[in-house]
């Protein structure tokens, strides 16, 4: 995946009945035009027009 980074967003939710906390993750394929970001980098991204089947986000520089 050239010029693409996969960003994982983790959210902590609480079960309505048992009140236990658990983590829910979602992955986004984000367009990185400059190939600037590496693993474990903090990234800000916004929604844009579809760039491919899965890519609908791009990095804000």
19-53, pLDDT tens digit by residue? 999 999 999 999 999 999 999 999 999 999 999 99
Question: Over 90: is that where the pLDDT of 61 sits?
Answer: no
Q: Within 13 Å, how many C-alpha atoms sit on residue 60's CB side? A: 7
Round to whole Å and give the CA distance between 3 and 41.
15
Contact (CB, 8 A) for 32 and 5:
yes
For residue 18, what is the domain's CATH number?
2.40.50.140
Q: Which domain holds residue 36?
A: 4-59
Count each helix (H run) and each strand (E run) in the chain, helices first: 0, 4
Structure token pair of residue 27: 């992955």
Task: Count up the domains in the chain and report the number.
Answer: 1
């Amino acid at each position: 995946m050239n010029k693409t980074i996969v960003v994982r967003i983790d959210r902590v939710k609480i079960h309505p009945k048992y009140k236990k906390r658990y983590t829910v993750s979602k992955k986004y394929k984000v367009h990185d035009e400059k190939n600037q970001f590496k693993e474990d980098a903090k990234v800000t991204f916004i929604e844009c027009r579809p760039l491919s089947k899965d890519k609908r986000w791009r990095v804000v520089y």
